[in-house]
Amino acid sequence: MTRDDDQLDVTSLTRQIKELTNRLVEAHEGRSEESLTHTAGGGLVKATVSATGQLQHLEISPVITDPGNVEMLADTVVAAVQNAREAVAARYTARFDGLFDGLIDRL
């Protein structure tokens, strides 16, 4: 390998790093404004969480508010919040699918 080949490899690597950085920024942009709503208990409990997993809104139908079964209500609320958090995480993770495809092959 000649000095010119080394320079070409460094130039190529630098370009690929810049490309990857741009793709990471694009994947991350707008994340803070996103939120998702998920339900549990057949839609009787709705939880909205931000992209960072913070609970933003909780809606509980009066139908499920049985004072004699508070444990069921608590379990349903937890399930709705967990479902929403998992959906947000899956959406965010999906943005990075394929991000590194071909990068290693080009090195």
Range of weakest confidence among 3-12, 47-56, 63-72, 92-101: 3-12
pLDDT band at 13 (very low <50, low <70, confident <90, very high): confident
Q: Does residue 45 carry a pLDDT above 70?
A: yes
Same domain, 9 and 55: no
User: pLDDT higher for 24 or 75?
Assistant: 75
Same domain, 82 and 39: yes
Same domain, 38 and 90: yes
CA dihedral in degrees (21, 26, 27, 30; nearest 10)? 140
Helix (H) or strand (E) holding 61: none
Same domain, 63 and 13: no
| Distance in angstroms (rounded) separating the CA atoms of residues 54 and 69 | 27
User: What pTM, to 2 d.p., does this model score?
Assistant: 0.68
Q: How many domains are contained in the chain?
A: 2
pLDDT, position 40: 94
Same domain, 90 and 40: yes
55 and 38 Cβ atoms separated by less than 8 Å: no
Antiparallel, parallel or unpaired: β 45-50 and 55-60:
antiparallel
Q: Does residue 46 carry a pLDDT above 90?
A: yes
pLDDT, position 60: 95
Same domain, 82 and 45: yes
Q: Which domain holds residue 52?
A: 33-94
Helix (H, G, I), strand (E, B) or coil at 37: strand
